[in-house]
Structure 1
Amino acid sequence: MTLIHPVILCGGSGTRLWPRSRRVLPKPFVPLVGEQTLFEATLRRAMDPQMFASPTVVTGAAHLAYVRAQLAPICQGTTIVEPEAKNTAPAIALAAQCMPRPDALMLVCPSDHYIADVAAFHEAVKHAAALAGQGHMVAFGITATAPETGFGYIRKGAALKGGYEVERFVEKPDLETAISFLADGNYSWNGGIFAFRADAFLAELAAYRPAMAEAVRASVAAGDTRDGEFYPAAEPFAAIEGDSIDYAVMENTARAAMVPVSMGWSDIGNWQALRDARDGDAQGNRVRGQAELVDCTGVLVETDGPRVNAIGLEDVAIVVDGDEVLVTTMAGAQKVGKLTGAANQ
């Protein structure tokens, strides 16, 4: 079997999980579900030597110390240090340019997602790799279990062996549209996980974002390796107009395919998502740290010190991190990133 090259994207600040996740210590590097961090779990999902080559991690200078500290004890890998954040399409293009072979199979994974069923993930990877080997640009279509308005969607088209053609990608819908997608049954969540050959991705990027493709090529050509990490040249990279892989490639290409998968996936995008990813008690409460809950249901408590006491609450998150305290309803969890502390810390 041709080995698959995991490409792990480490960026962003996870402000909607403030104050546990902060710009100085963002959510990929924090143990939010279980004892390992989301980044560590992502690495370990891609460690089968019969399936995967060593990983390529794309990160920025602000996160480099965390990558170094958490990557080395788990496996050997290649780290690419972006000169600046330009969204996912240039980050993936850097990795594609640095692959050992032009036709290397790439598996692009965010570093901050949670997957409960690793066996189902591996099965989907095998199908995606087969389609990618045929030249398809493959997205993972996560089984939609609720009418989520915070995710993009994929509508499947004609059947392929191991997957489907993509009929269309849909950006984050309103609630009424999301409900209709769920009832339709042909829509999946776009989880931001992709598979393709490096040369296929670069060809599509050159077709639809030629200036970006050329700037990345120039940045890699003029880059240098220091202490085992690769630093693309800053000047060509600075000229890039940032864009996501979805807008730059996936929504334009005629070669898009999708692999459906149900694997207990969550983007851990806010406190409600984190609550739902953790195991709870009979009342659906999830507690980490010292707490006493009376007549509470669906309450998440996360405290690193002070004891939390709550009575008669439902669907509320209470977070204590150092000298910061957050209290929010689950309905308000999407807005946490708008708080002044979340924006500045």
Structure 2
Amino acid sequence: MSRIVPVVLCGGSGTRLWPRSRADKPKPFIPLLGEKTLFEETLSRCADRSEFGAPVVVIGEKHLAIAQEQARPIAPDARFIVEPCGRNTAPAVALAAHAVDPGDIMLVCPSDHFIAQPDAFQEAAIAAAGLARDGWLVCFGIAATAPETGYGYLRRGEALDTGSKVAQFVEKPDLERALAFVADGGYAWNGGIFALPAGLFLDELAAHRSAMAEQVAAAFDNARTEDARIFPDAGAFGAIAGESVDYAVMENTDRAAMVDVSMGWSDIGNWDALMSKRSADDDGNVVLGSGEIIAASGTMIDTDGPHVTVVGASDTVVVVDGEDILVAARSAVQRVGEASRCKSQ
């Protein structure tokens, strides 16, 4: 039987979690929920070698050393594809597809997501791999528990043995449409987790994005290899017009399927999302580090040093990291990435 090979994607800088997440040590590599980092948790979910093969980590050179260090005790057999530049997820997954056998099932996992129920994830991965072996490109359809406007959605189509066809990929909706999706019950969140037969994925990429497929192949064929590290050719890879897996392949193929899963998932995309996964008191307040909240509710303090006191400011996030301080309304945390210092550190 073909292997399930985890493909862990480590792109992005996580600027919406500034000042904790920074360019030199972004969101996947810092402990935000518990002692392990999100990257370590991602590898740990696929650590059973009776079910999963050695992972392939796609990463930029800037974060290679920290990724290797964190992977070593969990997945010492991991291989690393070191992108010379970021070109979004479709080229990254295509590089991984060249690095594995054509019959392998790539379990594509972002490195910075939180999953509260790893057993449910593993069961869904095995079910998705079964569909993938039957010639489907499979998305995880994550139970839509709230009308989120920051996620894309999948509309469930014709039933298959262990899942269903994807009838429609839906872009991030406004609140009215998101409420309708949840009420309808036929929609799931698209969390960017896939089970993809490597050979079929490359065939579909060639069919729908032929230039990208050729450039990725050239970058891989002319790669430099050092131990467990693969360095694709910078010139060929840099010429690629970046695009996501969804846009390049999944929305164009007629082989898109989905498996439904409820696993306590979050992409931890901002401070409000992170707060929702932390333990709160009876007033909905969260305090990490030295701090107190008085006459307020729904507020979080996260400080690595100074004592912080918040009085009467509900639904507020206060983060102290070294010399940097963030104070934001929870309704505005999506804009944290706009801060000028986020981009420079």
Normalising by structure 1, report the TM-score.
0.98
1:191 aligns with 2:153: no
**1:159 maps to what in 2?**
159
State the partner residue of 1:95. 96
Deviation at 1:227, TM superposition (A): 4.1
The unaligned stretches of length 5 or more in structure 1 are none
**Partner residue in 1 for 2:33:** 33
**What secondary structure is seen at the aligned counterpart in 2 of 1:281?**
coil
1:63 paired with 2:63, answer yes
- Cα deviation code 1:150-193 (max 9, x no counterpart): 11110000111111100000111111111111111111110000
Q: Distance in 2 between matches of 1:295 and 1:153?
A: 38
* 2:242 is aligned with 1:251: no
Matches within 5 A, 1:126-165: 126-165=126-165
**1:86 aligned residue:** 87
Secondary structure of residue in 2 paired with 1:326: strand
Gaps of 5+ in 2: none
Q: Is 1:235 the equivalent of 2:235?
A: yes
State the AA in 2 paired with 1:94. Answer: L
SS at match of 1:124: helix
The answer to whether the 8 Å contact 1:2/1:51 transfers is no
What is the count of residue pairs matched by the alignment?
A: 344
Contact 1:206-1:214 at 8 Å conserved across structures: yes
Q: Distance in 1 between matches of 2:286 and 2:252?
A: 42
**1:339 is aligned to 2:339:** yes
* In structure 1, distance between residues paired with 2:169 and 2:98: 26
1:82-126 CA distances to partner (integer Å, 9 max, x unpaired)? 111000000000000000x21111100000000001111111111
Distance in 2 (CA, whole Å) between partners of 1:62 and 1:149 is 32
Which residue of the partner structure matches residue 306 of structure 1?
A: 306
Take 2:292 and 2:278, find their aligned partners in 1: how far apart are those partners?
A: 18
Residue of structure 1 in register with 2:107 after alignment: 107
Distance 1:290 1:148 in 2: 32
1:313 deviates by 2.7
Give 1:283's aligned residue.
283
Matches within 5 A, 1:204-243: 204-243=204-243
> 1:211-268: per-residue Cα shift (whole Å, max 9, x none)?
1111111111111112431101111111111000010000100000011111000000
Following TM superposition, by how much is the alpha carbon of 1:312 offset from its aligned partner in structure 2, in angstroms?
2.3
CA-based RMSD of the aligned residues comes to 1.0
Contact 2:2 2:103 in 1 (8 A): no
Pair 1:91–1:315, CA change in 2 (3 A): same
- Which residue of 2 is the match for residue 323 of structure 1? 323
Report the Cα distance in structure 2 between the residues aligned to 1:158 and 1:23, rounded to whole angstroms: 43
Deviation at 1:339, TM superposition (A): 1.1
How many percent identity over aligned positions? 56
The aligned amino acid for 1:152 is: G
Please report how far the alpha carbon of residue 2 of structure 1 lies from its aligned counterpart in structure 2 after TM superposition: 4.0
- TM-score normalised to the size of structure 2? 0.98
CA contact (8 A) 1:139 1:256 kept: yes
Whole-Å separation in 2 of the counterparts to 1:283 and 1:136? 47
The answer as to 2:169 corresponding to 1:169 is: yes
- Which stretch has the larger CA shift, 264-273 or 309-318? 309-318
Partner Cα separation in structure 2 for residue 145 and residue 341 of structure 1: 34
CA distance in 1, matches of 2:55, 2:36: 18
Return the letter of the residue paired with 1:139.
C
Supply the distance in 2 between the matched residues of 1:123 and 1:227 (Cα, whole angstroms).
Answer: 33
2:93 aligned with 1:73: no
Shift of 1:65: 1.6
Q: Which moved more, 1:78-87 or 1:230-239?
A: 230-239
For 1:83, give the aligned amino acid: P
8 A Cα contact 1:132 1:195, kept in partner = yes
- Distance in 1 (CA, whole Å) between partners of 2:117 and 2:148 is 21
